[in-house]
Amino acid sequence: QQQVKQSPQSLIVQKGGISIINCAYENTAFDYFPWYQQFPGKGPALLIAIRPDVSEKKEGRFTISFNKSAKQFSLHIMDSQPGDSATYFCAASDNQGGKLIFGQGTELSVKP
């Protein structure tokens, strides 16, 4: 199965809180899992990515947690700010076809 399932569809978080977005996949051949941030009218921007050989990767306020056995990965945004309000997409690739398979996206709104 080539699908990547993302939840929740939308998320409202207070400023300073933690935003958590989850993704699940079925294809065990996937070996690259990036997260993208997209603002209205813009193209997606690569935020952070992980490979299955590590369980966690942190870059600034953004952390990916990866559970290989459960075939799940999640994005944590610490100390969420109003400027983080955007749509976030998880994705996966098996590097056979070069293509990224995207989740459906999560619209994050951070309230001041």
Partner 1 sequence: EAGVTQSPTHLIKTRGQQVTLRCSPISGHTSVYWYQQALGLGLQFLLWYDEGEERNRGNFPPRFSGRQFPNYSSELNVNALELEDSALYLCASSFRSGYNEQFFGPGTRLTVL
Of 17 and 48, which has the nearer Cβ to partner 1? 48
- Which of 11-19, 56-64, 75-83, 103-111 is the region at the interface with partner 1 (rule: CB under 8 A)? 103-111
Of 15 and 68, which has the nearer Cβ to partner 1? 68
Are 110 and 14 within 8 A, CB to CB?
A: yes
Tokens of 39: 């603002």
Q: Would you give the binding string for partner 1 spanning residues 62-101, x where CB under 8 A is met?
A: ---------------------------x-x-x-x-xxxxx
Give CA separation, 64 vs 3, 26, 88, 101, in Å. Answer: 19, 18, 13, 17
Which of 46, 59, 68, 82 lies at the binding interface for partner 1 (CB under 8 A)? 46
Q: 56 Cβ partners below 8 Å, 6+ apart?
A: 50, 63, 64, 65, 66
Neighbouring C-alpha atoms within 13 Å toward the C-beta of 110? 18
Which residues sit at the interface with partner 1, rule CB under 8 A?
32, 34, 36, 41-46, 49, 89, 91, 93, 95, 97-105
